[in-house]
Each structure stands twice: as C-alpha cells, then as structure tokens.
Chains A and B, each alone.
Chain A
Amino acid sequence: MPASLPNRRSAPATLAAMAVLLLQGACASLEGPDYGVYDHAPGFNRASFDLSERIDNNFFEPVARSYSDIMPEPVEAGVLNFFANLRTVDSSINGFLQGKPKSGGTDMMRVLLNSTVGVGGLFDVATSAGFAAQNEDFGQTLAVWGWRNSRYVYVPLVGPSTIRDLPSMAIRAFLPRLLFGGGYPLWASGVDLLATRADALTLTDTRDAAALDPYAFTREAYYQRREFRVFDGDPPLDDFDDFFDEPDDP
C-alpha cells in the first residue's frame, strides 16, 4: 500500500497518536537523562567509545602522560599555543559568520599579535593585551543559525560529537594543512594530536574518578559544554524545575 497523507477519517486518530507520542517524549525527558534522547545509535556509539577507550588507555594516554612528564611546562604551553593560534583563524571566521564582528575582530587581533609578537604563535601575548580567545567554531555557527541539538555520535578515536558538529571537527583537524598546503609535514599533525591529548589528561582523569558510566557521563558533559559555548559562556538560566516535578511516591 503506497504511503499517503492521512485522510479525513484517520486524521484525528493520527493527531491523537502524535499527541500520545509527544506526551511520551515529554515524560521520557523527565524520566531519564536530558541529552540521552539525542543518542539514536547507543549500540554503535557505546561500541565506538569502548574501542576508543581501550586504544587510548593502552597507547595514546601513556604516550601523552610521558610527553607531559618529559616536556618542560613552557615548551608544552608553546606547542599548544602554536596550534591554537592556527585554529584561531577558524574561530575568527566563525565569529563573523555568527554576526559577532567584535568576536571575529578580537580573534583576528589574536592571530596578528600572537603570530608576530608571540613568535609564530608560540606565546599567547594577546590574552594579556586584552584579546581573550573567543573559541568559536562552525558547529556553534550552525547552532546560532538555528540548528540546535542534533544526534549524538561518538567518533572512533576522536571523541564525542554530533551530526551538526562533525563538519567543524573535520575543519579544525585539517585547518593547519589548509593553511600551509602540501608543505605541512605529517609529523606536525602527530605533535598536534599528542599535545591535545596531553592537555586533556586532567579532564579525562577527573572524568575517570567521578564517572560510574563514563560513556553517559561524556555524552551529557559534551552537550552541556557545547550549549555553554554556543551561548558564549552565558546560556539562558535553566531553573532545573523539571527535577522537582517528579513525585516522591508512586
């Protein structure tokens, strides 16, 4: 039977069914974690998370820890600053795309100052000069343009994301190569990856100490953190009053 629009007779029934589904959806959001409803492929995502964690625990994390132990702190900071400076180009463009010329201009000044006075981006002189990092990206731009929460994806070996944030993730990963062209050496990508993982050690250590279900913990934290970023650190006040709608007794 070909699919068709509901006829007059079945329209009320369809509307009733939709109302029930919507009601169930509303109840589900009260009965479970808020952002779990965006996880449409928990089987794949959890498997991807487990595999990534196994590889990370056995390879990336120990290497990153050794790197962090061996490297003097200023060198570690310099490496991070260098790659962050390259990605500020992306942040600046997205500031403008979001209709925030001040934010885009601030990042532009950061690139100029850090690339020159900051010796090719090794030193962050812009922050102390009053040009704080704006941390914009294309995923936030899409959110500002109206694509709010989207489906959750745990990208193997990369980390948590959403369908909306995937292009942004790719842009940021390949940006140095886009800026330098074919002359950008492969080992530089390796150093970038290593420095990024070393920088995230505190974060993953805190998660591992606090989380009973690291997968759900990571997903919830990712969505909340993205929301915080989309609103430039000042999201609308959430009353959390839904939490008090649940009766204590059956």
Chain B
Amino acid sequence: MKRFVCLLLFSLAGFAGSPAWADAASDEASASVDAFHAVLLDAMRTQGFTERKALLDPAVVAFFDLGSVARISVGPTWRSLAEERRSAFVALMQRLITATYADRFDSYSGQSFVQVETVSASTGPVVKTRLNRTNDEPVNLDYYFRNGRVFNVVADGVSDLSLRRADYAGIIREAGFDGLVADIEASIGELGD
C-alpha cells in the first residue's frame, strides 16, 4: 500500500511537472515564434517601409495579444474608456507595433534567430530566443505568451510592455488619454523616414 501511495504521488508529481496541455501550449508557442521570426527575416530583405508594413501587419495581428497590450499600456485609465475608444486604441497599437518592426527590421546583414528554450510561467509559456548579429553582440528576446498570443517581449532584460506602460503614464497624467493618442499618432508618423 505504502509503495502504491509513493508511486501515485510520484506519477502525480510527474504529471504536475509536465502536463500534456502545457507541452502542447509550449509547442504551439514555439511554432508561433518561428513563424513570426520567418516573417521578420522576410521583412529585413524587403525594400520599402510601406511594403514591409504590409508584410508584417497580418503577422503582428496573429502573433500579439493586442487587446492586453493596449489595456496594460494604458493602465487604470483603461477602465474609464468607452468600448469604441478601447477598440480604436487597440487598432492604434497594431499600427504602432507594425510600424516599429518595419522601421527597425529594415535591412538584412546575416542576422539569424535561434530558440534557446521554452519555460513555463503562471501566465503561459515563455519562449526564450536569441537574435544573432554579424557585427554586434547577440540580443536575448523572450516572448511571453498568454492564451496562445504574446503580450510582452523582453529584450536583454528590458520589458517592452513595462517600458510602454511607464512611458505612457506620464503623458496620460499631463495631457490625458487624448494627448497620449495624439503623441502616438505623431510617433507613428515619424517612423520609416
């Protein structure tokens, strides 16, 4: 009996350590990152900011949890926004993220992505990757998933979402939500110059 209980506990511990659904979620997240990186590499080889945006836009929509990104970036003010304003802001985030990637990943010079490992966080899988560059140090890129989509990208320890949230907090305090929207619109306009 004692042996049976031990075996039961052992098998339960094994199950809890690596449940099948967690493995499936990790595999899906890993495949999703590979697909996104493939689009980024394509974008780097594509001439023209508008062309790169067109290539990246569907990938950004499929890859990111834009609703969570928008809500968390805005912070507590989100609660006071009407549904239409929330939807408009989610669309604005989509344009900003797409334009930022199109602006940053604008030329190919031998860069490559490798997946390092996938670990589990309470929110979902975290896919750890590395961007190798030919004439520069590699960059660690960690993708945080929740419900199958990415809500945060951490580059060499710096969280994109935390930065955005800190960046927007002061603007909302000084100029309100409308001021924030105007500033983001202006920022998108400056990208790709």
Closest residue of A by beta carbon distance from B168: A212
Q: Which stretch of B10-18, B28-36, B47-55, B115-123 is in the interface?
A: B115-123
Does B162 contact A220, Cβ atoms closer than 8 Å?
yes
Which of B75, B78, B158, B166 meets A225, CB within 8 Å? Answer: B158
- A250 touching B162 in the complex, CB below 8 Å, given contacts A240-B144, A240-B152, A243-B72: no
Does A217 contact B161, Cβ atoms closer than 8 Å?
no
Within the assembled complex, what's the spacing in Å between the Cα atoms of A4 and B79?
44
Would you call A72 an interface residue if the criterion is a C-beta within 8 Å of the partner chain's C-beta atoms?
no
Which of A216, A239, A250 meets B79, CB within 8 Å? Answer: A250
Which of B79, B121, B165 meets A249, CB within 8 Å? Answer: B79
- A220 touching B166 in the complex, CB below 8 Å, given contacts A228-B158, A240-B152: yes
Q: Which stretch of A31-39, A143-151, A161-169 is in the interface?
A: A31-39
Q: Which of B71, B100, B122, B166 has the most CB of A within 10 A?
A: B166
Does A215 contact B126, Cβ atoms closer than 8 Å?
no
Q: How many chain A residues touch the partner (CB < 8 A)? A: 37
Give the A-B contact count at a CB cut-off of 8 A. Answer: 108
Within the assembled complex, what's the spacing in Å between the Cα atoms of A249 and B187?
28
Within the assembled complex, what's the spacing in Å between the Cα atoms of A249 and B122?
23
Q: How large is the interface on B (under 10, 10 to 19, 20 to 34, 35 or more residues)?
A: 35 or more
B132 to chain A, nearest CB (A): 15
Does B190 contact A228, Cβ atoms closer than 8 Å?
no
- A247 touching B79 in the complex, CB below 8 Å, given contacts A209-B103, A237-B121: yes
Provide the residues of chain A in CB contact with B187, threshold 8 Å: 209-210, 212
Within the assembled complex, what's the spacing in Å between the Cα atoms of A248 and B151?
16
Interface string of B145-172 (1 = CB under 8 A from A): 0100001100011110111011111110
Provide the residues of chain A in CB contact with B71, threshold 8 Å: 246, 248
B155 to chain A, nearest CB (A): 10
